[in-house]
Amino acid sequence: MAAVKQTIDQVEQLEAYEHGFVTDIAQDFAPKGLSEDIVRFISAKKQEPDWMLQWRLEAYARWLAMDAPDWAKVSFPKIDFQDLYYYAAPSQKAGPMSLDEVDPELLKTYAKLGIPLREQEVLAGVQGAPRYAVDAVFDSVSVVTTFKNELAEVGVIFCSFSEAVREHPDLIKRYLGTVVPTTDNYYACLNSAVFSDGSFVYVPPGVRCPMELSTYFRINAQNTGQFERTLIIADKGAYVSYLEGCTAPQRDENQLHAAVVELVVLDDAEIKYSTVQNWYPGDAEGKGGIYNFVTKRADCRGDRSKVSWTQVETGSAVTWKYPSCILRGDDSVGEFYSIAITNGHQQADTGTKMIHLGKNTRSRIISKGISAGKSSNTYRGLVSAHAKATGTRNFTQCDSLLIGKASGAHTVPYIEARNASSKFEHEATTTRLSDDQLFYVMQRGLSQEEAVQLLVNGFVREVLQELPMEFAVEAQKLVAISLEGSVG
Amino acid sequence: MLSVSNLHVAVGGTEILKGLSLEIPAGEVHAVMGPNGAGKSTLSYTLAGRQGYEVTSGSASLNGEDLLAMAANERAAKGLFLSFQYPLEIPGVPSLTFIRTALNAQRKARGEDEIGAPAFLKLAREQAAKLKIEFDMLKRPLNVGFSGGEKKRMEIFQMAMLSPQFLILDETDSGLDIDALRIVSEGVNALRSPERGMLVITHYQRLLDYIKPDRVHVLAGGKIVASGGPELALELEDTGYDRFAQAAA
């Protein structure tokens, strides 16, 4: 009886994925499958210069010789890369355009998702809309980027990656692939060959970016992979806070999202990068959902530079993702704050790498994993200090919360210290949401759902506090929705 | 106020309460005393609506409303408060946030307006002072790292803030030193009123020196086997529970 109730609750909960709709819109596709011709097709569609095409082709040749990684604690059927579309875009003219030229169906989609695309409305404070700039990526292309002109006034470049390749080739040539090399790993290499769109940000020396920047990724087309490519450069003394959000329709087939994000941080600069990932997680039987195979890495090249990754991961059928920091500059700082929630049949293998190369570099890792239903949630993290990286510090705290009896939590820390002056601390806890706690909270007047929300919010509070305020509230709601019906 | 009639309760298939009856009118404080394993905690958990405590027959009502038909949170909204023998830790949730969330959930369930922050804080400061609770402590996650005495004081603080109709104190004296016992008891006595009822569950007579009951009941073998005035508690202190345990068996 309890099992039946739990199943019903879970079905209801999975149907509660509110971003599961499909936008009915005319789209251009590349022919199905992957070949050198497809790579050329994508490059041509994006009107790329020859050097960019050559870069892609070289990556493609290298990818053919690579094997998919098998060390993560996730299992899924082998992906047939010839059965995917690698390019899908709303039929419209290429290049940037004004909002009036954008297909109304697309605008409706973003309105439905609550993404503010109309600067005027944002400026006019319509519905108290938060004031942040948005780059909206729909399948393989960026549809629109807001506040570009206002940002340009202070020298900040914020545009789609495709546009950056055309408009700012020097910056792209100088930094692309310098943090995540083409052959870094299987999925990063595939991305390098067929990447579609993403955002490009350049903040010039000494500039504090005047508003939050954000990119909103939407997968819409069927059987289509999304290969996001994002590059953010904070020049000396610059600061920028950037947020990405992700959703996809509810479909029976698995869809692939293989992204690469590179952050370059020079002397005294700081990048704060936040992710709220809510890709479709699959249905109650584990059918469908996004494969989220992502390589994110920051290179703290400059002295006293700082990177802070904050992620709230609630979606995707399978997540394979380790936002990392290379702490190259002396006194540089890396932070990783993560909430990973799995429910139903979701699998997540996520964590970070803090690679200490410079002297007196510091890092901090706070990871909160919540597993419910029949899901599996693994934290995998590396902290390493080079022989010359003296005086380095790391603090790691990994907490896992189990809800129900069929979920799993795993913690796999790797720690390598090659010098005697490094200080690494690691704390880990695993707890179960107990009936005692639930009863205690309910006795004070909260319903069971409210009690679970309160306890879970308490568990993740440390990390939620790291999100920009506009998004923290949204993330809190998302945490609640992801766990609805998880206590049967 | 509280009316329990012929209550039978099983836990995991084993019958613990075997026909318990109890009447506590508004304005009165009744003590239920009994040996270990008599069913004292089962009584408090059953009245508060904990899952896994299966009522096989009998009834329990508060102000004429059937308690057994309500979920734990609905009973709380009707004014039933249980002070736990072992209060739970709630990591990451500051005590004040917890209490305010609870209070507003109850008010909402009763169709009342939410309490505003200024009024809530004023009330919290007053009550905390009475219980000698440092206000800074209320900003810390509820009960996390608190001593046994601090946790019990926090239970009474919650009780004062939520202002319930009917109070159940489950072994509130356990783990308290004399000073803490006095502070906690003063807190409880301050809540005595002609509108409120109280059920004090305890193993020892000691607590009843501070919280004077109107009636004392002896619980043994799953039933009330004797009832009397405050003198019954003193008598128990001398003679022990043995004769009642035998009577129940």
Summarised one tens digit per residue, pLDDT across range B33-47 is 988 888 999 999 999
Residues A351-399 pLDDT 10s:
999 999 999 999 999 999 999 888 899 999 999 999 999 999 999 999 9
Shortest CB distance from A444 goes to which of B76, B91, B141?
Answer: B76
Residues A334-364 pLDDT 10s:
999 999 988 888 899 999 999 999 999 999 9
Contact status of B220 with chain A (Cβ, < 8 Å): no
The distance of A339 to chain B (nearest Cα, Å) reads: 14
Q: Is the pLDDT of residue A438 over 70?
A: yes
**Chain A partners within 8 Å of B49 (Cβ):** 442-443
Q: Which of A368, A427, A440, A463 to mutate to test the interface with B (most CBs of B within 10 A)?
A: A440
Contact status of B82 with chain A (Cβ, < 8 Å): yes
Give backbone dihedrals phi and psi of A139, rounded to 5 degrees, phi first: 50, -115
CATH architecture of B2-248: 3-Layer(aba) Sandwich (3.40)
Rounded distance between C-alpha atoms, residue A347 and residue A137, angstroms: 25
Classify residue A487: in a domain, yes or no: no
Res A14: pLDDT: 44
pTM, 2 dp? 0.82
Domain limits, chain B: 2-248
Rounded distance between C-alpha atoms, residue B94 and residue B79, angstroms: 23
Amino acid at A242: Y
Residue pointed to by tokens 């019954």: B232
Residue B94: closest C-alpha in chain A? A458
Res A434: pLDDT: 85
Percent of the residues in chain B that have a pLDDT greater than 70, as a whole number: 98
Res A473: pLDDT: 74
Res A98: pLDDT: 65
Q: Which of B90, B107, B165 to mutate to test the interface with A (most CBs of A within 10 A)?
A: B90
ipTM of the predicted structure? 0.96
Look at B77 and A445 and tell me if their CB atoms are within 8 Å.
yes
Q: Is the pLDDT of residue A1 over 60?
A: no
- Return the number of other C-beta atoms located less than 10 Å from residue A112's C-beta: 12
Rounded distance between C-alpha atoms, residue A484 and residue A12, angstroms: 9
Are A280 and A17 within 8 A, CB to CB? yes
SS3 B55: strand
Shortest CB distance from A446 goes to which of B51, B73, B75?
Answer: B73
Look at B51 and A439 and tell me if their CB atoms are within 8 Å.
yes
Look at A454 and B98 and tell me if their CB atoms are within 8 Å.
yes
More confident residue, B34 or B77: B77
Residue A454: closest C-alpha in chain B? B93
More confident residue, B97 or A224: B97
- Return the number of other C-beta atoms located less than 10 Å from residue A366's C-beta: 20
Classify residue A130: in a domain, yes or no: yes
Query: A88: which 2 tokens?
Result: 């899908």
Tell me which DSSP letter residue A330 carries: T
- Return the number of other C-beta atoms located less than 10 Å from residue B160's C-beta: 21
Q: Where are the beta strands (DSSP E) in A387-422?
A: 393-402, 408-417
Shortest CB distance from B158 goes to which of A442, A444, A459?
Answer: A444
Rounded distance between C-alpha atoms, residue B94 and residue B128, angstroms: 15
Shortest CB distance from B88 goes to which of A437, A457, A460?
Answer: A437
Within 13 Å of residue B161, how many CA atoms lie on the same side as its CB? Answer: 34
Interacting residues of B26 by C-beta distance below 8 A, sequence separation 6+: B1, B194, B195, B196, B197
Q: Is the pLDDT of residue A272 over 50?
A: yes
**Domain extent at residue A365:** 2-482
Look at B98 and A445 and tell me if their CB atoms are within 8 Å.
no
The total number of structural domains in chain A stands at 1
Within 13 Å of residue A23, how many CA atoms lie on the same side as its CB? Answer: 25
Which residues face A367 on adjacent strands?
A: A338, A398
Res B144: pLDDT: 94
**Chain A partners within 8 Å of B44 (Cβ):** none
What is the DSSP annotation of A175-197?
Answer: HTTSSS-TTSSHHHHHHHHH---
Classify residue A164: in a domain, yes or no: yes
Residue A458: closest C-alpha in chain B? B92
Res A270: pLDDT: 97
